[in-house]
Structure formats: structure tokens, C-alpha cells
Amino acid sequence: METIQNKKEISRKLKERAFYEGFTIAGIASIPGSSRIKLRTEALERWLSNNHHGEMKWMEAERRKNIASLLEDAKSVLSVGFTYISSKHKNNNFLKIGKFSHGDDYHKVIYKKLKKIGKWINVEFPDCKWKICVDSSPLLEKAWAEEAGLGWIGKNSNLISKKNGSWFTLGFLILTKDLIPDEPHQSLCGKCDICIEHCPTKAIVEPFVIQSDLCIAYHTIESKEKTIPKKIKENLNGWVAGCDICQDVCPWNKSVPFNNTFENNPKEWITQLGIESLNWDNKTWEKNLKGTTLKRIKPWMWKRNIMANLKN
């Protein structure tokens, strides 16, 4: 039986290791979590029942509501954030792509770093089993990151950190070791509604609730419809993959530290994307998309999104 002191030491070492591997923020939550996890789960159920998830049927996975189903005897979860904003980011003059995808595929970047932490755990605490979760796992990610003290879920539904804003992606290590949890983060959005006011399609239908079929990011990344709806098309303003508007205007993103690691270096074709890309064949698209998170957007979808901007 480990003492409180031992648990504190292990918890401290684990978070230090996360920083060593290149994560910007790290925190620990106990499973099954506080009452806020239940509230977040109920909020997810309301969101799904209103069909706000559109074609994203994977959001309906029952396992998402129970983190313990992902690893037998799970007791704690390490939540980490990887900052993707770089001083090398620059806005394309015409066709714009969400900053989260300018560099290497964050799923792979985060997975590799978490695997290194896992291997370190195998040596330091061989009795601890672990499971990596990055984005595609059925997990209430932002809720658990909030529970672990990384930040709070903002009115634009992004996780916001007091120091690092919202320009980071999340990863998790579910652990069978009982650790000392960090304090869950409190919301600091206050009365600010800037993100809601600036969304051109009014996709933030109420604070913290995004209606996917009104969201530019949803229509340019997730939707498999052959055409983009008129209301969305009229408000694209150059966006062809994702949309950063609600993050660009957020006051918490005004002075965020950059993370100028090689993984975040923008791909040249992304910063120079123009209408000539309409003439690219599938092989050219595949070559450019390789190693990025943008490969989920098929070539025909890129052409659909670019053409929608030209016809405004």
C-alpha cells in the first residue's frame, strides 16, 4: 500500500516526465472523477439528442461515457496538452486552413510522446498498466482535461488554458495506479461573449454548445455532402479546412507562448495554397497530405471547399 507521500512523488514525477517529452501542460485526474464529469456526460447526451453532431456518428459511442471501460482497473488519467501555435504560422492571403493542422499530424506526435512516457512508466512503476488515448478514442476528452486542471471548456467549446490559451491539442494516458489528482479548473470566460458574437454562421447556438451543421470547420472537414450549404458558403471567407475565428478573437489567445518545435513547422504547400490546387490530381493531393491530419479531407472535398470560396 503506497503512502500519500509516495503518491505525491509519483504524480510529480509523471507530470515532470510529460514536460520533458515536450508537452506544454499536464495534470492528473482520479477515476471516476468529480460530479462535473457526470454533468459533462449529461451535456453530451443533450447535444447528441439534439443531433448537433451531424454526421459525426462516432460521438454516439456508449464507451465515451465511461472512461473505466477503456482500461480494466483504471484509477487515474494523465491529461496533457501539446501547443501547436508557432511563430512561423502565417495567414494565407486567400485560402485558409486551421492552424491545428499546419504541421505534422498531431495524433502521431502526441501518441509517440505518450508512448515514451508509457515506456518510462514500465521502468519506474512496472506494476502500472497504461493505455494511450488521442482524439480517436471514445473519451470525453475536454471534460477529463478540465477535471485534471489543464484549463476550462470555453463558450466556443474549446479547452482554454490561462497561460496557453486554446492553441493546443490533447492526449491522455489512462493508468491503473492511484495518484494524487490536480484541482479541476474553474471557468474564466465570465461575461465574455466575443467568440459567440464573431462566429459568422452563429454556430455557437448558446454558450458552450456548437451546432455542427452551422459550423464552417464541420462543413470543410467532416461533412461528406457534395455541396456546401448556401449559408455556410456565404460566410467561408477563404476557409477551406477548419476555421480559427472563435480562437483568433478569444482574449485568452492574445499573448500565448509559441512552440517552435519541428513538428509545428507549417508545410509549404499549406501556406501557399491557391486556386491552382484545383488542377492537382489525386496523387499530388496524397503526396501533400501525407503526414498531416488533413488527409481525412479527401481530394474531392478540397475541390468542393475551394470552389465554394470562388463562387461567393
Q: What is the largest CA-CA distance in the chain?
A: 67
Classify residue 187: in a domain, yes or no: no
Q: Within this chain, do residues 159 and 59 fall inside the same structural domain, yes or no?
A: yes
Residue 257 sits at φ, ψ, to 5 deg, of -65, 135
Classify residue 61: in a domain, yes or no: yes
Name the residue type at position 89: H
Q: Within this chain, do residues 170 and 221 fall inside the same structural domain, yes or no?
A: no
Classify residue 206: in a domain, yes or no: yes
Name the residue type at position 37: I
What lies within 8 Å, CB to CB, of 31 at 6+ separation is 67, 68, 74, 75, 76, 77, 174
Q: Within this chain, do residues 157 and 289 fall inside the same structural domain, yes or no?
A: no
| Long-range contacts at 151-154 (CB < 8 A, ≥ 24 apart) | 151/25, 151/81, 151/185, 152/185, 152/186, 152/187, 152/188, 152/189, 153/40, 153/187, 153/208, 154/187, 154/189, 154/195, 154/208, 154/250, 154/252
Q: Within this chain, do residues 32 and 151 fall inside the same structural domain, yes or no?
A: yes
Query: What grid cell was written down for 82?
Result: 501539446
Classify residue 44: in a domain, yes or no: yes
Q: Within this chain, do residues 69 and 120 fall inside the same structural domain, yes or no?
A: yes
Radius of gyration of the chain (CA): 20
Among the listed residues 195, 223, 229, 192, the one whose alpha carbon sits nearest the alpha carbon of residue 209: 195
The residue whose grid cell reads 471557468 is 187
Q: Within this chain, do residues 225 and 304 fall inside the same structural domain, yes or no?
A: yes
Q: Write b or e for each residue in 3-42: b if 16 or more Cβ atoms lie within 10 A of its Cβ, otherwise e.
A: eeeebeebbeebbebbeebbbbbbbbbbbebeeebeebee
Task: Identify the pLDDT of residue 156.
Answer: 96
Cβ contact 152:192 at 8 Å: no
Tell me whether residue 127 is exposed, middle or buried, using C-beta atoms within 10 angstroms of its C-beta: 0 to 12, 13 to 18, 19 or more. Answer: exposed
Q: What amino acid positions are annotated as catalytic residues? A: 135
Classify residue 201: in a domain, yes or no: yes
In terms of residue numbers, what domain contains 235?
194-255+266-310
Q: Within this chain, do residues 40 and 161 fall inside the same structural domain, yes or no?
A: yes
- Is the pTM higher than 0.85? The answer reads yes
Q: Within this chain, do residues 235 and 160 fall inside the same structural domain, yes or no?
A: no
The residue whose grid cell reads 482524439 is 135
Residue 214 sits at φ, ψ, to 5 deg, of -110, 0
Q: Within this chain, do residues 124 and 27 fall inside the same structural domain, yes or no?
A: yes
Q: Cα(205)–Cα(291) distance, rounded to whole angstroms?
A: 34
Tell me the pairing of strands 76-83 and 96-97: unpaired
Q: What is the pLDDT along the chain (312 residues), one digit of tens a residue?
A: 678 888 999 999 999 999 999 999 999 999 987 777 776 677 667 666 666 555 655 455 555 456 778 899 999 999 999 999 999 887 666 899 999 999 999 999 999 999 999 999 999 999 999 999 997 666 788 999 999 999 999 999 999 999 999 999 999 999 999 999 999 999 999 999 999 999 999 999 988 889 989 999 999 999 999 999 999 999 999 999 999 999 999 999 999 999 999 999 999 999 889 999 999 999 999 999 999 999 999 999 999 999 999 965
Number of domains in the chain: 2
Classify residue 189: in a domain, yes or no: no
* Domain finish residue from 175, 209, 235: 175
Classify residue 261: in a domain, yes or no: no
